[in-house]
Amino acid sequence: MNPIEAIAQAVAELKLAENTTPIPEPIPKPKLVKRQNHPN
């Protein structure tokens, strides 16, 4: 398999993962915002 094909396949898998599982993705973002608001 060519490196380009491997990269293209990995990108396709990431896109499918994002489309099939949109629910777990937004969960870490509020935590990051809270950490920025409260540095300590």
- Residue 30 binned pLDDT confidence (cut-offs 50, 70, 90): low
How many angstroms separate the CA atoms of 20 and 35, rounded? 28
| pLDDT of 33 | 60
Structural domain total, the chain: 1
Mean pLDDT of 13-39: 65
Domain enclosing residue 12, as ranges:
3-37
Backbone angles phi, psi at 25, to 5 degrees: -65, -45
- Per-residue pLDDT of 2-24, as tens digits, reads 999 999 999 988 888 777 665 55
Token digits of residue 28? 């870490």
Name the CA dihedral angle for 24, 25, 27, 32, rounded to a multiple of 10 degrees.
Answer: 150
| pLDDT of 36 | 61
Q: Note if the pTM is more than 0.75.
A: no
